Amino acid sequence: MDAIGISAERADFFKSLTEKSDGGKLRGDYTLADAQYVVAQDWAAYTPEQHALWRRLYQRQAKLLPGRACDVFMDSLAKMDAADGIPNFARTSDLLFKTTGWRLVAVPGLVPDHTFFEHLAHRRFPVTVWLREPHEFDYIVEPDVFHDFFGHVPLLFNPIFAGHLQQYGQGGLKALQLDGLPYLARLYWYTVEFGLIRSPQGLRAYGAGILSSGGEIGYCLTDPTPRRIPFEVERVMRTRYKIDSYQETYFVIDSFEQLFKDTAPDFSPIYARLKQMEPLPADSLLPGEIDLPAAGRHAS
Ligand code: PHE
Ligand code: FE
């Protein structure tokens, strides 16, 4: 499992940052961060052992991707040329900027919600600089450079997804004003982190939490246990999620165009409605909902 509690944890972490005098609870080094929490990557400081660990993580995932990751992810990852060691963000950032106008910025770890949304709204994706330790090969609680870079950056090369994430950043700033953050966080969780997408060849993963995980990438597609339900914005925003286990439900989009279009309307009335309702447990199935069958067993 590398279920990573991105949105929920970001909030928790920031609480610990502001409430505890010994900011030492945070894993990254925040002392050199600027007002936007940006640091220098200091690529030369990574050790040969860290580059070797990256290669092991990369190779394990690369083997699992064919037939499981969506095509956009596969194609972009190949272009990023990141197999040989922890990548130099500046190089990928330049390539990305030419493709979709996004840049990568290095951060010490989780950043406050407002800062995170500001970055996205300006087409900057924050990438954590530190790499997990060898004993965290299979499971990591906080996002590290492997999750952030390998899991998230490839889709930023797709113009529609890239546009969606910028809109999400703007929507996040708005949600902060409207007390809508818990709902928006669920949307992020069930799409950007744990989303599935249909393809002519069958179900595929596009969520970064899945694609950077050695276990969940198989589980989410072929295990009979979890639900796979067609994506619907308000339904997703009502649904709780698990941050310390594989997901009990995955929501399935038909295309990134659908994700972009369905999230375009003003969320204010949705937030207002959801505040009057109880959230749904993570394993709910509502009347009339289809629980899509698991994909057939993968050949390899
Ligand atoms: N349409 C959303 C709003 O009005 C903003 C948003 C767009 C949120 C895309 C998420 C993704 O708040
Ligand atoms: Fe993430």
Q: Does the residue 295 lie in any domain? A: no
Q: Does the residue 283 lie in any domain? A: no
What are the helix (H) ranges across the chain?
A: 6-19, 48-64, 71-80, 89-100, 113-121, 145, 159-178, 181-188, 208-211, 216-222, 233-237, 256-262, 268-274
**What pLDDT does residue 298 have?**
52
149: domain CATH number is 1.10.800.10
pLDDT in tens, 182-218: 999 999 999 999 999 999 999 999 999 999 999 999 9
pLDDT in tens, 264-286: 999 999 999 999 999 999 999 99
- 73 contact partners, CB below 8 Å, separation of at least 6: 65, 154, 155, 205, 206, 211
Ligand 1 pocket: which of 165, 174, 183 to mutate (most atoms within 8 A of CB): 174
Q: Does the residue 294 lie in any domain? A: no
**Residue 269 CA to ligand 1 centre (angstroms):** 12
Q: Does the residue 219 lie in any domain? A: yes
Q: Does the residue 298 lie in any domain? A: no
Could you give the CA distance from residue 141 to residue 230 in angstroms, rounded to a whole number?
Answer: 28
Q: The pTM is what?
A: 0.92
The ligand 1 atom nearest the CA atom of 175: 12
**What values do phi and psi take at 97, rounded to 5?**
-60, -40
- 69 contact partners, CB below 8 Å, separation of at least 6: 77, 204, 205, 206, 211, 217
Q: Does the residue 242 lie in any domain? A: yes
Ligand 1 binding residues, C-beta < 6 A: 164, 167-168, 171, 174, 263-267
Q: Does the residue 296 lie in any domain? A: no
Could you give the CA distance from residue 61 to residue 86 in angstroms, rounded to a whole number?
Answer: 15
Q: Does the residue 288 lie in any domain? A: no
Contact yes or no for 214/160 (Cβ under 8 A): no
pLDDT in tens, 82-127: 999 999 999 999 999 999 999 999 999 999 999 999 999 999 999 9
Domain that holds residue 64: 6-274
Ligand 1 pocket: which of 120, 267, 271 to mutate (most atoms within 8 A of CB): 267
Q: Residue 143 to residues 29, 130, 294: CA-CA distances in angstroms?
A: 14, 9, 28
Helices 181-188 and 6-19 cross at an angle (nearest 10°) of 130
The ligand 1 atom nearest the CA atom of 264: 1
Q: Which two tokens stand for residue 285?
A: 């199935």
**Domains: count for the chain:** 1
pLDDT in tens, 41-67: 999 999 999 999 999 999 999 999 999
State the amino acid at position 145 in one-letter form.
V
Q: How many CA atoms lie within 13 A of 192 on its CB side?
A: 29
Q: Residue 300 to residues 1, 88, 224: CA-CA distances in angstroms?
A: 20, 32, 18
- The answer on pLDDT for 24 being more than 60 is no
Q: Which two tokens stand for residue 298?
A: 């993968």
Instruction: Sort strands 124-128 and 103-107 into parallel, antiparallel or unpaired.
Output: parallel
* One-letter-per-residue 3-state SS of 227-281: EEEECCHHHHHCECCCCCCCCCEEEEECCHHHHHHHCCCCCHHHHHHHCCCCCEC
State the amino acid at position 280 in one-letter form.
L
**What pLDDT does residue 244 have?**
86
Contact yes or no for 60/214 (Cβ under 8 A): yes
